[in-house]
Amino acid sequence: MDYLKLKEFLIMTELNSLTIKQAKEGLIKREFSSFDLTEACLAQIEKVDKKINAFIKPIAPTYDDVVSAARKADKLLSSNQDLPLLGIPIAVKDNFSTMGIRTTASSKVLDDYIPPYDATVVKKLKDAGAVLIGKTNMDAWAHGSSTETSDYGSTKNPWNTKHLPGGSSGGSAAAVAADEAIAAIGSETAGSIRQPASWCGVVGLKPTYGRVSRYGVIAMASSLDSPGPITKTVEDSALLLRVLAGTDEFDATTSLPPVGDYTLPVVDNKIKNLKIGISDEYFIDGIDKEVESAVRLSIEKLEKMGAKIVKINLVKPKYATSVYTIIQRSEVSSNLARYDGVRFGKDRKLFGEEAKRRIVLGTYSLSSGYYNQYYNRAAKARSLIVNDFEKAFEKVNVILGPTSPSLPLHAGASENAAMFGEIADILVEPSSIAGLPGINIPIGFSKSMLPIGMQIIGRQFAEDLVLQVAHQYEMATANENWRKKRPNL
């Protein structure tokens, strides 16, 4: 191999590690093509995905379809078309309907389902010029926080394949951490974006409920499901949210407030004098000492940057877990009722154990004689949690705390643990129940080189402020050594 070819090869092999912003700049400057960028991601998938299983197999769309989309993007780029994601390879969680492309929600019940339409999120990505590079693995029906309940094999954590990536968007988080895609889309019901983002060391943004359309997403819990981006940087999450957010005539739960320009230039002193709320209730008994230490050091850093740290009292997260369990199971039982092997999907015998447990508990909670005792009472308690956050935001601008109480757990930890998801997501469930926006940002690693994340929560529709605070922290730590670490695959 001569020097020029070697140089070209080295450039190609690094393209998959770019951020959306870096990739856009390179494409505009003609430093490389969308084909080059896409090929680099496909080569990385071929190289490492047998180890981490981030994508549903066989990978769809096909290689030819992906390359065709990249070639089309290159033609548009050559004619100076300006689209937000033109030529950028992005992975999508497999519970988003993709027209003509198999969509399984990681369940054998939908093993051969080919949607006749695109989810609104997918359509917006395509309209913005993105290249759909593959559908990512997940907990079946999004039931879980480990990606071990998938009927297509569990996903492994790129930082240590003996550990879990979290879930249910574990495939999306792992794909971004392993540089198999420039970015990915996940969905969160009560932690399914932020928790796997924390365990995989990437950025995960859960928008306000209704900020992003659920149309075309295979429903888990309809009053909670929130699609959102998983990225390498906060700035990339802002860019993706700008594309995805907005009202949708096909989803009556989408919100009316206008979409902000989340990609506005960051003001250097934005965090100065900002009131950041810290609740001791979120440093629960049993929290990993390394997680607590890293988060408290990050709080100190924000204080040195000019933020005002304000102690607040929030309802203990364990109560949100009780509320979530009843509401989520009830809505699961309703949503999965349509998959009867006659109207939709294959035989119900193919439901996994987790799905069966949730259907049974949800049906019981909604049954005659028990509705008021369980579901109705949970709905009332949910309102109290919403009010609790509203009172807190009268005193502070954002709330900060650990994303997960633990480091990524060992593979197999979710087996025979019926409440694994609720325990793993205990610190993110309250804000999800309240419909609030929240973001996970990486803040370092444990001694065993496992990622640690921190969450920032805002009032409803305060995504712009949440993103600003997260980005300020990201910039302040940009040169720290831990930022340079990459998974060794």
Catalytic residue positions?
93, 168, 192
Sheet holding 131-136, edge to edge: 131-136, 89-93, 183-188, 226-231, 203-206, 438-445, 451-458, 398-402, 275-279, 308-312
Cβ atoms of residues 17 and 233 within 8 Å: no
User: Among all chains, which residue has been given the structure tokens 């548009």?
Assistant: 76
CA dist 438 and 456 (Å) reads 5
| Positions of E strands within 164-318 | 183-188, 203-206, 226-231, 275-279, 308-312
Q: How far is CA 413 from CA 75, 318, 352, 419, in A?
A: 48, 20, 17, 11
Cβ atoms of residues 277 and 399 within 8 Å: yes
Q: Which helix (H) or strand (E) holds 401?
A: strand 398-402
DSSP strand pairing (183-188 vs 398-402):
unpaired
DSSP strand pairing (398-402 vs 308-312):
unpaired
Angle at 64 between CA 58 and CA 69, to 5 degrees: 110
57 φ/ψ angles, rounded to the nearest 5 degrees: -105, 145
Please list the residues that pair with 457 across neighbouring strands: 399, 438
CA dist 44 and 455 (Å) reads 29
CA dist 237 and 127 (Å) reads 18
Tokens at 215, concatenated: 């149309």
Q: In sequence order, which residues have a C-beta less than 8 Å from that of residue 373 and are 6 or more positions away?
A: none
Q: How far is CA 179 from CA 16, 40, 175, in A?
A: 6, 9, 6
Map residue 458 onto helix, strand or coil.
Answer: strand
438 φ/ψ angles, rounded to the nearest 5 degrees: -155, 155
116 CB-contact burial (10 Å; exposed 0-12 / middle 13-18 / buried 19+):
exposed
